Amino acid sequence: MKIVVTGGLGFIGSNFIRHMIKKYPNYRIVNLDKITYAGNPENLRDVEKNKNYKFVKGDICDKKIVERVIKDCDIVVNFAAETHVDRSIVDAGVFVKTDILGTYTLLEAAKKFKIKKYIQISTDEGYGSIEKGSFKETDNLRPNSPYAASKAGADMLVRSYIVTYKLPAVITRSSNNFGPYQYPEKVIPLFITNLLEGKKVPLYGDGLNVRDWLYVIDNCEAIDFIMRNGEEGEIYNIGGGKEISNIELTKMLLKELGKDERFIEHVKDRLGHDRRYSLDCSKINKLGWKPRFEFHKALKETIKWYKENELWWKKLK
């Protein structure tokens, strides 16, 4: 089995590659990554000499490189994307290019070379905000940030290739991921590293925005599960089942790191800030997958990782 992973030097992609190499030692993994600010070669330093792992530097918008990498593979798993909401508000263009045009380039190559399966890694943010209840896979997409819109646009493109060209594709939409190797611009690693440096943590608005948190290892295992058991043409929500407000999360981190609430700095709310994300994951649960990691334990493990890997994040900050 040969699997092409795009964006494999990023947070979720690198964790997925590490998971696959450990679980399937006979699989060949090709990692296509542009190496942007969030694509860090250090994320896979421990596996780069593995005989079944190969790294190719390249942009998923580059047709020649994409076709060269994909032409003899079995499966494509597309993690490559611009993902930070704040950056998308400042400059939406790069998100449109990578997330939509890049996905189009991959889909065209997947169609041309008749690959066995294409997996699009997407996000719950495409659904938008919900006051009550939880989003199902059949609900309409109503993105509220340029980032979410670019990912929703990519999802629609994948769906069109499924319907029009019968491309054997699957879409996964996960809730907020956290864990090791996450670039310290996202809330959990930013807050952990700020507190480790004795700095305050910037909390948007009233802090009552709610997110469902998913440990990255659980997401990687879910994607692997869907790769083997998911039905072509389907969409699968992947959630951790742990909804908490940003202020609750902040207080947990303060407690774990021995700080008090004086370390909270309330800042102006983000433009278009979604109030609550929530996923109905009954579809993948019925198929046989549920998260393994309890949230508080996974959060402690994440804090421990950042404490023990200061050299990794200090360079990035």
147 is catalytic: yes
pLDDT at 166 exceeding the cut of 90 = yes
Catalytic pick from 33, 82, 125, 243? 125
The amino acid present at 10, given as its one-letter code, is G
The tokens describing 70, both together, are 């994909």
Catalytic pick from 33, 99, 124, 274? 124
Domain ranges within the chain, ordered by starting residue: 2-177+216-238, 179-211+242-272+294-316
pLDDT (tens digit per residue) in 179-217 = 999 999 999 999 999 999 999 999 999 999 999 999 999
pLDDT band with cut points at 50, 70 and 90 for residue 84: confident
pLDDT band with cut points at 50, 70 and 90 for residue 86: confident
What kind of fold does domain 179-211+242-272+294-316 have according to CATH?
UDP-galactose 4-epimerase; domain 1 (3.90.25)
99 is catalytic: no
Q: Of the candidates 164, 158, 246, which has an alpha carbon nearest to the alpha carbon of residue 210?
A: 246
Q: Let me know if the fold of 2-177+216-238 is the same as that of 179-211+242-272+294-316.
A: no
Catalytic pick from 118, 127, 147, 236? 147
Is 2-177+216-238 CATH 3.40.50.1240? no
pLDDT (tens digit per residue) in 11-32 = 999 999 999 999 999 999 999 9
What pTM does this model have? 0.95
What is d(CA 216, CA 154) in angstroms, rounded to the nearest whole number? 22
125 is catalytic: yes
**H or E element, residue 228:** helix 216-229
